[in-house]
């Protein structure tokens, strides 16, 4: 179940958007005001892989992603993007290194139009390339083409999430970091976001690290999944392996037991 052995599902897929980068977290500890929320988390994402992190509320999933992209203080460990260490970099420098981030909430600029949001996504592109890149991205999310002049604060939750992903795509990111892309969405819209758009990234060969509460749905699009609880990694495996884990099924796929069983019975990093 180690990352080294995992073969990316989508290498060289047609219509590839980006040349994916490898992400490595080595014993990452991060938190707020020097108080750790996640402890010694080690995760690897190979180029072209879709790797997900699932866990209960308050397990530190969002904090983990924010530490990767530089919003939250890293207290220990290392973050590497390919061979470059980006530990503790400012968010703007992480973006320049090729990481596209979609936050869980506040994921668009509400007063700006959809077009302006996309332009901000392409802020680091040469000015002459922004329009052509915007045209390319809109072909991936055709519904956005009909609302380019509308204020982002006035579109629906599903459309906002689509816009947030499109904005992140503007920069040709080598790695997508998606924080609960289905949060606060109605079930049907959440399915659309995961099935069409996140899976769409996968089909195009993108590398992505996704945090998600809807474990069943995210397993369907992941190459590998980590389980985070109480700020520590508790399990890791392919979707097939996790689906065959009674503990995982009980905690995340509708079984009778709870997450507490995973926390109490598993050692950090151990297989299910």
Partner 1 sequence: MSLLLASLGFGLVTAAVLALATVGFTLQFAVTDVLNLAFGAVMIVAAYVAYWVNQAGISVWLGLVAAAIVGSLLSLVLNRFIYAPFQRRRTSSIALVIVALGLTLILEFGLQAFVGGTSVSYQLAQGPTVGSGGFQLTVVQLVIIALALAAMVAVHALLTFTRLGKAMRATAANRSLARTCGIRSDRVVTVTWLLSGALCGVAGTVFAVDAGSFNATSADLFLVLILAAAFLGGPGKAYGAMLGALVIGLATEVSAAYISPAYKDVVAFVLLFAMLAWRPTGLLGDRA
5: Cβ contacts below 8 Å, ≥ 6 apart? none
C-alpha–C-alpha distance, residues 146 and 192, integer Å: 18
What DSSP character marks residue 44? Answer: E
Which C-beta is closer to partner 1: that of 89 or that of 248?
89
Q: What DSSP element (H or E) covers 239? A: helix 239-243
Shortest Cβ 197–partner 1 spacing (Å): 18
Nearest to 50 by CA among 211, 269, 259: 211
Shortest Cβ 189–partner 1 spacing (Å): 21
Nearest to 56 by CA among 249, 187, 271, 213: 213
C-alpha–C-alpha distance, residues 12 and 189, integer Å: 29
Which C-beta is closer to partner 1: that of 171 or that of 263?
171
Which C-beta is closer to partner 1: that of 128 or that of 254?
128
Which C-beta is closer to partner 1: that of 118 or that of 198?
118
Which C-beta is closer to partner 1: that of 124 or that of 220?
124
24 three-class SS = strand
Q: Using CB under 8 A as the criterion, which residues of the chain lie in contact with partner 1 when the complex forms?
A: 69-71, 90-92, 94-96, 101, 103, 106-112, 116, 119-121, 123-124, 127, 153, 167, 171
Shortest Cβ 251–partner 1 spacing (Å): 31
Shortest Cβ 93–partner 1 spacing (Å): 8
30 three-class SS = strand
Shortest Cβ 183–partner 1 spacing (Å): 15
């Amino acid at each position: 179940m180690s990352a080294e052995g995992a073969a990316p599902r989508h290498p060289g897929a047609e219509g590839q958007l980006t040349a994916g980068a490898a992400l490595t977290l080595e014993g990452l500890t991060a938190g707020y005001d020097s108080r750790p929320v996640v402890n010694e988390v080690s995760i690897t994402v190979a180029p072209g892989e879709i790797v997900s992190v699932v866990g209960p509320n308050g397990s530190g999933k969002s904090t983990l992603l924010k530490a990767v992209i530089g919003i939250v203080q890293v207290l220990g460990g290392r973050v590497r993007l390919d061979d470059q260490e980006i530990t503790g970099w400012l968010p703007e420098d992480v973006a320049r290194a090729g990481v596209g981030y979609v936050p869980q909430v506040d994921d668009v600029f509400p007063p700006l139009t959809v077009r302006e949001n996309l332009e901000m996504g392409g802020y680091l592109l040469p000015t002459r390339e922004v329009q052509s890149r915007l045209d390319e991205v809109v072909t991936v999310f055709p519904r956005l083409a009909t609302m380019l002049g509308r204020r982002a604060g006035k579109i629906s939750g599903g459309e906002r999430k689509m816009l947030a992903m499109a904005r992140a795509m503007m920069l040709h990111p080598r790695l997508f970091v998606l924080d609960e892309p289905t949060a606060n969405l109605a079930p049907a819209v959440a399915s659309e976001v995961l099935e069409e758009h996140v899976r769409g990234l996968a089909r195009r060969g993108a590398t992505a690290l996704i945090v998600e509460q809807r474990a069943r749905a995210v397993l369907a699009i992941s190459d590998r999944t980590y389980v985070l609880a109480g700020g520590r990694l508790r399990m890791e495996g392919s979707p097939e392996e996790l689906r065959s884990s009674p503990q995982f099924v009980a905690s995340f796929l509708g079984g009778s037991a709870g997450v507490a069983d995973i926390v109490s019975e598993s050692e950090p990093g151990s297989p299910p």
